[in-house]
Amino acid sequence: MRKREYDEDDVRVRPSKGSRPRTRIRPAHEDAVQGFVVAVDRGRYTTLVEPERPKGSAQKRRQPQRRLVVAMKARELGRKGIVVGDRVALVGDVSGEPDTLARVVRVEPRTSMLRRSADDTDDTDGIERPVVANADQLVIVTALADPPPRPRMIDRILVAAFDAEIDALLCLTKSDLAQADDLVALYEPLGVSHVTVHKGGSLDELREHLQGRISVLVGHSGVGKSTLVNVLVPDANRAVSQVNAVTGRGRHTSTSAVALELPEGGWIIDTPGVRSFGLAHVSVETVLAGFPDLVEGTVDCPKGCTHLGDGCALDAWVAAGHADRVRLESLRRLLSSRDGSPDDS
């Protein structure tokens, strides 16, 4: 029998994986609509889409309605995170109808980003946790009693505000149960504005601070944050709870951040109650930048100075009358808070 001869037509060639030509060029998505992320839930992003102004005569012109559009993140964004407050570009079904899903294809440049580190969990490697994007005011909500104020926690949140370069406002609740003078005096050297409120009292002063701004409310559980939100935004329906009589702490009633529009204009972003606010991602220089009257005095500090102990040139700078001693004490208190335990009082 004659042996068969083979040629190239007898060889089966399988295409290799990824045979499609790859390119770094991505679609421009010029037809994408703009959305404002108001809630995030398990990979789904609820966004508010403002209507486009219709063209045509006044008779044909109808005012389109704002709509909420649920979207998922496009694969091309990779691991890029999206948080409440982000402004994004959407494509796909952006009608906002039930059971529809759009895609987030772009996250617009952020004006600010409030972060905290994960030092309140077993993972203490300083991984940053984005909290809210594009806020221009951080409202630190703390009770004057039941539970008592935790100045170390306030200090740490203030450092986060310095890092994000956003204004800070101290909102002191339950002022009918305790005086605010001592706590206000503690933060007066830092130039932090404050308002005091109590249940059933007027919120007019607080509303003036919030009007026309994007404000993020942060505070530990039980301080009355959700109660405030329900008064400021009557349709919010945020869950509230009582403080535990044994531990003196509240229960986490807000489980996710959500942006709520104020009737008088502006937004408030309610965040879950926190028991800690990690600062492993914040440098000493960032905190020091919030004290321009002390920065020049660090020129003569030894290399690697923490500005906390002996040898710091800031002591001589203050002694020479270039800055107030109270300001230096405030700086050192904030710097110390960076390395404090996650559950500092």
H/E/C letters for each residue in the chain? CCCCCCCHHHCCCCCCCCCCCCCCCCCCCCCCEEEEEEEEECCEEEEEECCCCCCCCCCCCCCCCCEEEEEEECHHHCCCCCCCCCEEEEEECCCCCCCCCEEEEEECCCCCEEEEECCCCCCCCCCEEEEEECCCEEEEEEECCCCCCCHHHHHHHHHHHHHHCCEEEEEEECCCCCCCHHHHHHHHHHCCEEEECCCCCCCHHHHHHHCCCEEEEECCCCCCHHHHHHHHCCCCCCCCCCCCCCCCCCCCCCCCCEEEECCCCCEEEECCCCCCCECCCCCHHHHHCCCHHHHHHHCCCCCCCCCCCCCCCHHHHHHCCCCCHHHHHHHHHHHHHHCCCCCCC
Give pLDDT tens digits for 194-242: 999 998 899 999 999 999 999 999 988 888 888 899 999 988 766 554 4
- Output the six-digit token pair for 161: 């505000």
Residue 286 has a pLDDT of: 87
Asked if 51 and 36 count as a contact pair (C-beta separation under 8 A), the reply is: no
With cut-offs at 50, 70 and 90, classify the pLDDT of residue 251.
Answer: very low
Q: What is the pLDDT of residue 249?
A: 45
The model's confidence at residue 1, banded by pLDDT at 50, 70 and 90, is low
Distance, CA of 132 to CA of 154 (rounded, Å): 18
Instruction: Take residue 280 and report the two structure tokens written for it.
Output: 């492993």
pLDDT at 239: 57
Among the listed ranges 5-9, 79-83, 91-95, 238-242, which one has the minimum average pLDDT value?
Answer: 238-242
Give the C-alpha separation, 82 to 76, whole Å: 13
User: Taking phi first (over 0 means left), then psi (-120 to 50 degrees means alpha), and beta for anything else, what does residue 165 get?
Assistant: left
Beta bridge mates, 140: 170, 218
Is pLDDT of 244 > 50? no
